[in-house]
Structure 1
Amino acid sequence: MKTESSVSNGILHVALSGDLIGSPDTQQLLHSVDEHLGESVMLCAIDLSGVRYINSTGIGVLVSLLTKFRSRGGELVLINPADHPKKMLALTKLNAIFTVAESESAATELLKTPH
C-alpha cells in the first residue's frame, strides 16, 4: 500500500493506493496520522479511490482513525471508495457510520460545514 498525506486549510488529506490489509502499511498510516494530530489537525479526508482490496484489518484501521478524530471533536470523511472497499463498508454496515464524499472538493465542503 502507498500512502501520501498533506495538510491544507486545516484538513489532513490522505491518499491511499494498493491493498489496505495490515502491517506494516497500516502502522505507517496510523503513525502518519498521529503525527498530524500532534499538529492539532481536527479534520481528515481519506481518498480510497486507489484501494483495490480491504480486509477486516484495514476496516479496523479506518474505524480507529475515525475514532481518533471524533474523540477530539473532529471529523473524518472517506473519498470515493473503489468497488471492493465500498462493498466492505456496506457489508459491515459501516457506511452508516462513515461520511462518504464523491470527490476531494465535496469532502472539503463537508468538513468545512459546521456540524
Structure 2
Amino acid sequence: MKIKEREEAGVAILELSGKIMGGPDSEKFSSTLKQLIHEEKTRVLIDLGKVTWVNSTGLGILISGYTTMKRNNGEMKLLNVSERIESIFMVTKLASVFESYKDETEAIQSFVTD
C-alpha cells in the first residue's frame, strides 16, 4: 500500500493505492494518522480509488484509523470506494460505520456541514 497525502479546504486527504493487507501497511497508516493528529488535522478523507484489494486485516486497519480519529475528536470518511470493496463493507456491516462519498467536493463539504 502506498499513501499520498494532500490537503484541500482544511481536510487532509490520504490517497491510498495498491492492496491494504496489514503488516507494514498497518504501521504506515497508523503513523500517518498520528502525525495528522499531532498537527491538529483531524478531518481526514481516505481516497480508496486506487486500492485494488482489502483483506480482513486491511479492514481492521481502516477500523483502527476510524477509532483513532474519533478518540481524538476527529473524523475519518471514505472517498471513491470501488464496488468490490463496497460489497465487502456491506457483508461485514461496515457500510453503516463509514461515511462514503463518490465526489471529492461533496465529501469535503460534508466536514463543514457536520
- When normalised by structure 1's length, the TM-score is 0.91
The residue that corresponds to 1:76 in the other structure is: 76
- Cα offset for 1:109? 0.8
CA offsets 1:89-109 (integer angstroms, 9 cap, x no match): 111101001100112111101
Superposed CA offset, 1:50-103 (max 9, x none): 111101111111111111111222211100111221111111101001100112
- 5+ residue gaps, structure 1, are none
Q: What is residue 6 of structure 1 aligned with on the other side?
A: 6
- Using the alignment, how far apart are the partners of 1:30 and 1:104 within structure 2? 23
Q: CA RMSD in A?
A: 1.2
Tell me how far apart the structure 2 counterparts of residues 67 and 26 of structure 1 sit (CA, whole Å). Answer: 14
2:58: which partner in 1? 58
* 1:1-115 paired onto structure 2 within 5 Å: 1-113=1-113, 115=114
Are the aligned partners of 2:36 and 2:42 in contact in 1 as well (CA < 8 Å)? no
C-alpha separation in 2, matches of 1:103 and 1:17: 18
In structure 1, distance between residues paired with 2:11 and 2:90: 26
* Deviation readout 1:2-49 (Å, 9 max, x if unpaired): 110123433110001111111112211211111111011111000011
SS at match of 1:73: coil
Contact 1:10–1:42 (Cα < 8 Å) also in 2: no
Count of aligned positions:
114
Q: Is the 8 A contact 2:45 2:76 kept in 1?
A: yes
User: Percent sequence identity over matched residues?
Assistant: 29
TM-score (norm 2): 0.92
CA contact 2:20–2:58 (8 Å) conserved in 1: yes
Moved over 4 A (4+): none
Tell me the amino acid that sits aligned with residue 39 of structure 1: E
Question: Could you list the runs of 5+ residues in structure 2 that have no partner in the other structure?
Answer: none
Moved more, 88-97 or 8-17: 8-17
